Chain A
């Protein structure tokens, strides 16, 4: 990501603080940004493992996954920018609204405010231990696998192309993370204990994936979040059983955290953005 359009947006930021909720009027743009934000924020989280993985090969694996996700985010942001620039009035309530400048993949990732990010809460949670990171990756990768599996047939050709491309990568993510979930869950007493704990912590963030936002219902015809949830539950149940982590409690209705997809994030999100956006905020338009 090199070129960044500057958004000299002091006034807009102040307006946002005074309670103006930024919304994208276009459902399609919002949906694509939601997908992009999920990929970007999880890429950012996973990249924190760089140089800290338990063994070299797995350090390389998690950072490769991070790179794949970043690539998906770039494709999605580029497409979102294309759509937004066609209908610039959709920008009116955004912090990127400044002097008729076109938005780019860079301004979308580096210059939007927290409330404008539509990623689910799951991806912004701190990495915790290796087991937690793996389990989150697994649960999210299965979701992405099924999601892109649906979107590859979308009538939106650009989105379908991105989905086909991403699906190949996500397949590797699911294979890799599920093997680790099984290895750790069905491993030593200590690793099992940590995975049970991780599952307890992560579970309440999974419900939001399937809690439909208007932009998910309206953006793409034929996109079926209910069917997606059904397949997701089936698939993760099989692996969790093999990992000796399954408990019937997972099928019970429990309280689920939500808000991220609307732009209401946990306290962790601000810190992620502070790190992610620091360079462009401190040195606007800086390039490599």
Chain B
């Protein structure tokens, strides 16, 4: 009797873990509406996935996300897309919580994510970089051109088409490009 209970318990745990892993996989298919090559997993904004089932077997899925930028208009769209994706796969009870702390940083963008950005023509944020520093007037680090890989590039504007990007131009191949700026 005791042994059976214990087995059930372990089975339940593994079932829950599997279901959570399945949701993480589903979230790979939710994309940033402004940079459609990046999934929200690549972006590193999904902080946690929690599944709880109550007595009536009504499973509640809680997805915890962190905003990239305070004013990022994509966050509302992303929340909606997560909801739709989960509904599509049979989840009815979905909660999306926003977590501000610890604050999102570009270091959370996955390596695959950085490669995808570069292939898409956006220079990925430099790995360790002083621009991230909240100190003022630091020397700007060289940004690599995503087209010809030259480091001879110049900053055109610290602000680009979305809050996460800056505008650069390559001095070598002359291509203007966007840089996913460091936060």
Chain A residues proximal to chain B, CB less than 8 Å: 57-58, 60-61, 64-65, 67-72, 74-75, 145, 149, 157-158, 160-162, 164-169, 171-172, 174-176, 178, 235
Contacts and interface: CB of A to CB of B under 8 A. Distances in A.
B160 A71 contact: no
A87 B103 CA distance: 28
Q: Which 9 A-B pairs have the closest CB atoms?
A: A71-B71, A71-B70, A161-B101, A161-B100, A61-B159, A64-B159, A57-B157, A67-B71, A165-B103
Q: Which residue among B70, B102, B103, B134 has the maximum number of chain A CB atoms within 10 Å of its CB? A: B70
Contacts of A161: 100-103
Given A162-B100, A164-B103, A74 B70 contact: yes
Contacts of B183: 168-169
Contacts of B71: 67-72, 74
A166 B183 CA distance: 10
Contacts of A157: 101
Given A75-B100, A165-B100, A176 B70 contact: no
B167 interface: yes
Interface of B: 67, 69-73, 100-104, 132-134, 136-137, 156-161, 163, 167, 181, 183
Given A64-B163, A164-B103, 8 more contacts: A57-B156, A67-B163, A71-B71, A145-B134, A145-B136, A168-B134, A168-B183, A176-B159
| Chain A, interface SS category | helix
A175 B70 contact: no
Contacts of B133: 171
Given A75-B100, A157-B101, A164-B103, A174 B69 contact: no
B158 A71 contact: no
Contacts of B69: 68, 71, 169
A162 to B, nearest CB: 6
A74 B100 CA distance: 12
B98 to A, nearest CB: 9
B137 A158 contact: no
